[in-house]
Amino acid sequence: MIICFSGAVSGVDNPPGDCYYNSNIIFKRGAETPARGHICGGKLSPLLLCVLADVRRDIFLRPATGNGGNMDLLLKNSLIYAEDAFIEGDILISGGYIAEVAPRISAVPGARILDLKDLYIFPGFADVHVHLREPGFSYKETIRTGTLAAARGGYTAVCAMPNVSPAPDSPSGLAAQLALIRENAAVRVLPYGAITRNREGKAISDIAGLADKVAAFSDDGSGVQSETVMRAAMVQAKALGKLIVAHCEDDGGAPPGESEWRQLSRDLGLVRETGCAYHACHLSTKESVALIRQAKAEGLDVTCEVTPHHLLLDETMVRDDGRFKMNPPIGSPRDRAALCDALRDGTVDMVATDHAPHSPQEKSLGLAGSQNGVSGLECAFAVLYTGLVETGKIGLPRLIAAMSGAPRARFGLGGGAIRPGAPADIAVFCLNRTYTIDPGEFLSMGKSTPFEGMAVKGRCMITLSGGKLIWKDTKEGIWHA
Residue 183 has pLDDT above 90, yes or no: yes
- For residue 249, the model assigns a pLDDT of 97
- CB of 13 closer than 8 Å to CB of 477: no
pLDDT digits (tens, 9 = 90+) for 263-285: 999 999 999 999 999 999 999 99
Question: What is the value of pTM for the model shown?
Answer: 0.86
322 CB-side CA count, 13 A? 21
N- to C-terminal Cα separation, the chain: 18
Handedness of CA 308, 368, 247, 427 (dihedral sign): negative
Residues 6+ positions from 30 with CB-CB distance below 8 Å: none
Sequence ranges of the domains in the chain: 2-122+460-472, 125-411
**Rounded Cα distance, 195 and 248, in Å:** 13
- pLDDT value, residue 69: 56
Task: Name the fold adopted by 125-411.
Answer: TIM Barrel (3.20.20)
Beta strand ranges found along 289-408 (DSSP E): 302-306, 350-351
pLDDT of residue 53: 27
- Model confidence at 474, pLDDT cuts 50, 70, 90, reads low
- 354 in catalytic set: yes
Number of Cβ within 10 Å of residue 29's Cβ equals 7
CA gap 35, 25 in Å, rounded: 9
CA distance 47 to 76: 20
In degrees rounded to 5, what are phi and psi of residue 149?
-60, -40
Instruction: Provide mean pLDDT across the span 327-346.
Output: 98
Residue range 173-191: mean pLDDT, rounded? 98
Interatomic CA distance for residues 205 and 263, integer angstroms: 20
Q: What is the pLDDT of residues 56-95, one digit of tens each?
A: 222 223 333 333 357 799 999 999 999 889 999 999 999 9
| Lowest-confidence region among 161-165, 218-222, 252-256 | 252-256
How far apart are the C-alpha atoms of 290 and 120, rounded to whole Å?
Answer: 35
Confidence of residue 415 (pLDDT cuts 50, 70, 90): confident
Rg for the chain, CA atoms, rounded:
22
Beta strands in 281-400 (DSSP E): 302-306, 350-351
Asked whether residue 24 carries a pLDDT value surpassing 60, the answer given is no
Residue 16 has pLDDT above 70, yes or no: no
Residue range 114-141: mean pLDDT, rounded: 97
d(CA 396, CA 377): 18
- Exposure b/e, 119-138, CB count within 10 A at least 16 = b: bbbbbbbbbbbbbbbbbebb
- In the three-class reduction of DSSP (H, G, I as helix; E, B as strand; rest coil), residue 365 is classed as coil
User: 354, 425, 438, 473: which one is catalytic?
Assistant: 354
Q: Which amino acid is at 16?
A: P
**Mean pLDDT across 93-99:** 96
At residue 84, the pLDDT reads: 87
Assign 166 a pLDDT band (cuts: 50, 70, 90): very high
103-107, 236-240, 446-450, 473-477: least confident range: 473-477
- Assess contact for 108 and 92: CB atoms under 8 A: yes
Fold of 2-122+460-472: Urease, subunit C; domain 1 (2.30.40)
- C-alpha to C-alpha distance for 455 and 439, rounded to whole angstroms: 13
- Within this chain, domains 2-122+460-472 and 125-411 share the same CATH topology: no
Task: Give dist(CA 203, CA 317) in Å, integer.
Answer: 40
What's the order of all strands across the beta sheet hosting 188-191? 125-130, 155-160, 188-191
